[in-house]
Amino acid sequence: MKDSYHLTKLFKLVTAEVAIFNEKRNELIKEFGAESANGDCEVVGDDAKRAYFAKVQELLAVPVEIAWAPVTKAQLDAIDGLRVSGADLVDLGPLFED
């Protein structure tokens, strides 16, 4: 149960950070974009795209620290029914500690 709790807590913390990033990215799309025929907002034009991508790079450069320990292979193995491939572990990146 403790391992499942740890993984769930880490997932929720990461999800919250990703939501903040996406919110800010969507604001940039609205700032540099234009409404398309189907009602979506798209960044069009070379100048707008360059400005948009520069701002997204700034956003990506903001350091994010998650106040929670990375998950370990032992913790993943302890969760009944959880199957994790090597590729999944690589995808976890800094959220995984061997």
Average pLDDT over residues 66-90: 86
The number of residues making up the chain comes to 98
Task: Sketch the domain layout of the chain as residue ranges.
Answer: 2-97
In degrees rounded to 5, what are phi and psi of residue 41? Answer: -105, 130
Q: What is the pLDDT of residue 85?
A: 86
DSSP code per residue over the chain: -HHHHHHHHHHHHHHHHHHHHHHHHHHHHHHH-EE-TTS-EE--SHHHHHHHHHHHHHHHTS----SSPPEEHHHHHHSTT----HHHHHHHGGGEE-
Q: What does pTM read for this prediction?
A: 0.78
pLDDT digits (tens, 9 = 90+) for 18-67: 999 999 999 999 999 998 888 889 999 999 999 999 999 999 999 999 99
